[in-house]
Structure 1
Amino acid sequence: MNVPIYQQALGEEFHRLQPELQEYFSLAPGSGHYGVGEGVFDVVGCRQAWLRPLLKLTSGEDAFFPDYGEGIPFRIENHAHQDPFGRPSLTAR
């Protein structure tokens, strides 16, 4: 049986999470399950317009959000899997 990645990271502290959070974070590589989060960002991105072109350079890696906005809806999926070395990993989409 695969141990969920968050349980591996938190150890015994995992059981101190609220049941709803335990369910959300019970992502085990190969289980086919994934966690979904949805909401609205009050504010997202960089307020400094001069810095946005620099952040665009990294936007292909999804490392930074190179724009600025308010009231921006979002959806994120957390998928547990094994990386090429067999280690438990998590990818957000």
Structure 2
Amino acid sequence: MATEGGGKEMNEIKTQFTTREGLYKLLPHSEYSRPNRVPFNSQGSNPVRVSFVNLNDQSGNGDRLCFNVGRELYFYIYKGVRKGLLSSPTRPALRVEP
């Protein structure tokens, strides 16, 4: 979530990064909200992976829930068991490209 080493600022948020699955990059809002988006995998439902991330934010809002659905990655602010803001992701979507 923070930056890689090499003198960059620690609070910088990446717009793209590479993992073993491929390249994740931030989708433009126009592409993310397009109603006729073509699904990546039409063979069935994709597995969903959930991660909990702490960004060590000074304001106390550093906790995030991350959902990896197929090739898309969603981030949500987490404020405790009863206060999850699941209706509005902080990053609309990141898509992995093989």
Taking structure 2 as the reference length, the TM-score comes to: 0.25
Which structure exhibits the higher relative contact order, with contacts defined as CA atoms closer than 8 Å and separated by 6 or more residues?
Answer: 1
| Alignment TM-score, normalising by the size of structure 1 | 0.25
Give the structure with the higher percent helix. Answer: 1
